[in-house]
């Protein structure tokens, strides 16, 4: 976990994600990349200035400097380094090209978790990031403060997990001394407890739980973590074929809109 990217729009939800990312980075002595991308439109482009001297660009650069200053004391206390970048680009380039360009190991970002239109717009950004990113994405709910990772819940289905997919989770659990509860939500009882040894979580204290599905898988997961306690929920983003993408709703993507604890999504790549 050498490099962690944190997208920011300079608002409180993003600031909260930065705080969380600092704590995770401190565990691994990771380098932080604080990123803001923007695009020009008829509302923010001033035709009285050349493109390289646009007032809007200067404005966002000043906001990035203020954000950096806001967190520098904590970053120095943790012995971390940070790079701040402001670039004209599409927002979703962060989850593809920038990740590759900077060798990013994890993305930490906030999600509004609000209601109505705000939820649709900002929740969709986080959900789309989960779909696009080829590295783990950790989504932090608004106002959720970091606490020691004591119990991590890993929600899985009946399908086999490819080797190395769970490596980021294993590293997190080991670094913070967390127990991992493997949760399987079923419609018919399964006998999968022996699968723990196949999940590549060597050196981690694990437990296996099966619970029947109530109204939906997402609601069942939420009820479980509310009852049992959970500091971090981990899910897998499964690779789907064409017909699965068309006809099957993503359980992982849906979870973004309802999660009350940080959600770590590991891509199946």
Tokens coding 28: 């691994």
- Model pLDDT for residues 25-62, shown as the tens digit of each residue: 999 999 999 999 888 888 888 898 888 888 999 999 99
pLDDT at 41: 85
pLDDT at 120: 38
pTM: 0.86
Percentages helix, strand, coil for the chain, rounded to the nearest 5?
40, 25, 35
pLDDT at 94: 80
Tokens coding 174: 């080991």
Tokens coding 178: 């967390």
Tokens coding 11: 């608002």
- How far separated are the first and last CA of the chain, in Å rounded? 17
- Model pLDDT for residues 146-177, shown as the tens digit of each residue: 988 999 999 887 778 887 899 999 999 999 99
Q: Residue 207, exposed/middle/buried by CB under 10 A (0-12, 13-18, 19+)?
A: middle
Nearest CA-CA partner of 185 in 213, 225, 216: 213
Tokens 């239109």: give the residue. Answer: 117
pLDDT at 150: 93
pLDDT at 124: 59
pLDDT at 239: 66
pLDDT at 28: 95
How far apart, in whole angstroms, are the C-alpha atoms of residue 30 and residue 138?
15
In angstroms, what CA-CA distances link 183 with 29, 186, 233? 30, 10, 10
pLDDT in tens, the chain (269 residues): 899 999 998 989 899 999 999 999 999 999 999 999 888 888 888 898 888 888 999 999 999 999 999 999 999 999 999 999 999 988 778 888 889 999 999 999 987 644 443 443 344 577 677 777 889 999 998 888 898 899 999 988 777 888 789 999 999 999 999 999 999 887 766 555 455 556 778 889 999 888 888 778 888 888 888 888 899 999 888 765 433 333 344 566 566 666 688 999 998 86
């Amino acid at each position: 976990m050498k490099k962690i990217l944190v997208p920011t729009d300079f608002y409180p939800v993003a600031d909260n994600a930065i705080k969380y990312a600092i704590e995770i980075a401190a565990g691994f002595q990771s380098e932080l990349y604080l990123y803001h991308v923007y695009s020009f439109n008829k509302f923010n482009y001033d035709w009285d200035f050349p493109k390289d001297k646009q007032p809007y660009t200067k404005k966002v650069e000043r906001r990035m400097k203020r954000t950096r200053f806001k967190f520098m004391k904590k970053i120095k206390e943790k012995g971390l380094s940070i790079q701040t970048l402001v670039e004209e680009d599409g927002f979703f380039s962060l989850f593809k090209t920038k990740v590759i360009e900077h060798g990013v190991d994890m993305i930490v970002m906030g999600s509004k978790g609000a209601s109505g239109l705000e939820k649709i717009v900002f929740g969709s950004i986080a959900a789309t990031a989960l779909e696009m990113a080829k590295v783990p994405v950790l989504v932090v709910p608004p106002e959720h403060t970091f606490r020691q990772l004591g119990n991590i819940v890993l929600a899985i289905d009946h399908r086999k997990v490819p080797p190395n997919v769970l490596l980021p989770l294993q590293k997190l659990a080991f670094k913070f001394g967390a127990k991992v509860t493997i949760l399987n939500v079923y419609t018919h009882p399964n006998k999968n407890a022996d699968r723990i040894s196949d999940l590549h979580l060597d050196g981690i204290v694990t437990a296996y739980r099966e619970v029947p599905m109530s109204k939906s898988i997402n609601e069942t997961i939420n009820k479980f973590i509310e009852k049992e306690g959970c500091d971090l929920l981990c899910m897998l983003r499964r690779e789907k074929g064409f017909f699965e993408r068309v006809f099957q709703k993503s359980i992982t993507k849906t979870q973004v809109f309802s999660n009350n604890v940080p959600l770590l999504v590991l891509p199946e790549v």
